[in-house]
Amino acid sequence: MSNGAPCGACKFLRRKCVNNCIFAPHFNSEQGAARFAAVHKIFGASNVTKLLHHIPVAKRSDAVLTISYEAQARLSDPVYGCVATIVALQHQV
Tens digits of per-residue pLDDT, 6-50? 999 999 999 999 999 999 999 988 788 999 999 999 999 999 999
Residue 67 included in any domain: yes
Residue 44 included in any domain: yes
Residue 2 included in any domain: no
Q: Which domain holds residue 13?
A: 8-92
Task: Specify the pTM.
Answer: 0.84
Distance of CA 12 to the CA centre of its chain: 12
**Structural domain tally of the chain?**
1
pLDDT of residue 79: 94
Residue 1 included in any domain: no
Residue 58 included in any domain: yes
> Measured between alpha carbons, how far is 69 from 39 in angstroms, rounded to an integer?
9
> Measured between alpha carbons, how far is 83 from 73 in angstroms, rounded to an integer?
9
pLDDT of residue 74: 96
Residue 56 included in any domain: yes
Strand partners, 41: none
Query: Averaged over 70-76, what is the pLDDT?
Result: 95
